[in-house]
Amino acid sequence: MTISVNKIRNKLNDDGVLFSRVFKYRKGKQVYVAQSNFFYRMGYSAEGFARQIEDALEDDDCTVEILSTNSIKQSWPNDSYFEVVFKLTKANKKE
């Protein structure tokens, strides 16, 4: 199953998911990285970000497998961010 990074960005935007970057992690594989910058967490977490990605991208044709979630904390002036590494696979349709 091939899906472009732009299509992923559009689906996340359409679903109201706040993200800073989305990029392909491994060429030739359907593994992607999504990042969301934060200054204060305010109850938000990398796991919550991962759930939002799953909800936005999963449908009848596609499943999302979360490979890892991380909170990357950096000293100012560098950005801190949540990072989710995920894989998209074709859904097994049950009939």
Q: Is residue 77 part of a domain?
A: yes
pTM of the prediction?
Answer: 0.84
CB atoms within 10 A of CB 86: 22
Return the CATH number at 40. 3.30.70
Q: Is 95 within the bounds of a domain?
A: no
Would you state the pLDDT for residue 39? 73
What's the whole-number mean pLDDT along residues 61-71? Answer: 92
In a domain, 50, yes or no: yes
How far is it, in rounded angstroms, from Cα 95 to Cα 25? 33
Q: Look at the chain and report how many structural domains it folds into.
A: 1
In the predicted structure, residue 85 carries a pLDDT above the cut 80: yes
CA distance 15 to 12: 5
Residue 5, both tokens:
């990074």
User: Would you say residue 94 lies in a domain?
Assistant: no
Could you tell me if residue 20 is inside a domain?
yes
Domain enclosing residue 34, as ranges: 5-89
Neighbours of 81 (CB within 10 A): 20
Tens of pLDDT, residues 12-43: 999 989 889 999 987 767 899 999 998 766 77
- Indicate whether 74 belongs to any domain: yes
Residue 27 lies in a domain: yes
pLDDT at 9 over 80: yes
Give me the sign of the Cα torsion angle 47, 56, 43, 76.
Answer: positive
pLDDT given for residue 64 in this prediction: 92
